[in-house]
Structure 1
Amino acid sequence: MMRKIIVFILLAFANTAIAQTTKDRTAILEVLENQRQGWNKGDMEHYMKGYWKSDSLLFVGKNGPTYGWQKTLDNYKKGYPDKSAMGFLTFGIKKVEFLAKDKAFVLGSWNLKREKDEPKGYFTLLLRKIDGEWKVVVDHSS
């Protein structure tokens, strides 16, 4: 009898963990979708809401590492000065993996359709749940 109770309790906790992961996975995908929508409206500040607003934010791109939310925003604005340069962004999410209850890893692809070209590449993200919200704390895009 005691063994059945222990198994029941373990299953109850396992289901809670799975439910939390599903909820958090959905929240992470919403962060990325909100970023994509902001980008496609030409609203870089809206796009940046998905990032941790901290000097410790790390963005790694073709020019190497950049630290800080403001510096990342400035670089985006320099590289994509207007809606035409921003184009139309789509993501292909390949993997969302939880490293801890408040940390997740995301692997995905990005595709930018513009009038004269169509750059594309891949990204890896580290997200943290900060004050109840998922934020990108590390972005490596290529």
Structure 2
Amino acid sequence: MSFTSSLKRLARPALRALLLLAAPAGAQTLPAPRAAIAQVLATQTAAWNRGDIPGFMQGYWQSDSLVFIGKKGLTYGWRPTLANYQKSYPDAAAMGRLDFRGLRITPLGPDAAEVVGAWHLARPAALGDLGGHFLLVFRRLQGRWVIVADHTS
């Protein structure tokens, strides 16, 4: 083995250690994207199931650029999306009990991810259950994971 190849072999672990030490301190304490996004969805579910649509909406980007695509077409903006939810689900009976199923959380980079899954609302027999599928686009903005686009059917 040559001196150069020995030096390269020894330098690799040292370089890795230096890179870890040079990483920003906060980078090591941030939750993994999948866990952080799953927590957003769990928080949304809990808010919905207590009849708190504004609390549910905290998982969405509070911006006019938020896009929601549903059976009624496109809705742009956090406030119009909130208003649509409030109109469609005027009381606890209409809201029912929400659960998400078959979640597939796929990071698209350090600050973006997509979530595919199914939603189900268990409601009183007179109203009937509802359900469908969704594709959410999440982004980490100002250190917080939020839904920036929602296509729900």
Q: TM-score range by the shorter chain?
A: 0.7 to 0.9
- 135, 140, 146: which one pairs with 1:129? 140
Contact 1:92 1:109 in 2 (8 A): yes
Contact 1:93 1:106 in 2 (8 A): no
Superposed CA RMSD in Å reads 2.1
- 45, 49, 52: which one pairs with 2:58? 49
Q: Which runs of 5+ in 1 are unaligned?
A: none
2:107 equivalent in structure 1? 98
Deviations 1:79-125, CA, capped at 9 Å, x for gaps: 00000000000001431111111000100110000002111111100
Contact 1:105 1:126 in 2 (8 A): yes
Q: Which runs of 5+ in 2 are unaligned?
A: 1-5
- 2:33 & 2:111 partners in 1: Cα distance? 9
| Larger gyration radius, structure 1 or structure 2 | 2
1:3 equivalent in structure 2? 9
- 120, 145, 151: which one pairs with 1:111? 120
Deviation of 1:22 (Å)? 6.3
Deviation of 1:6 (Å)? 2.7
Give the percent of matched residue pairs that are identical in Structure 1 and Structure 2: 42
Residue-pair matches, total: 137
TM-score between both structures, scaled by the size of structure 1: 0.88
Contact 1:90 1:111 in 2 (8 A): yes
- 1:129 & 1:51 partners in 2: Cα distance? 11
2:86 equivalent in structure 1? 77
- 1:4 & 1:84 partners in 2: Cα distance? 66
- 1:20 & 1:104 partners in 2: Cα distance? 19
TM-score between both structures, scaled by the size of structure 2: 0.82
- 1:4 & 1:71 partners in 2: Cα distance? 59
Q: Runs ≥4 in structure 1, deviation > 3 angstroms?
A: 19-22
**Are 2:20 and 1:23 aligned?**
no
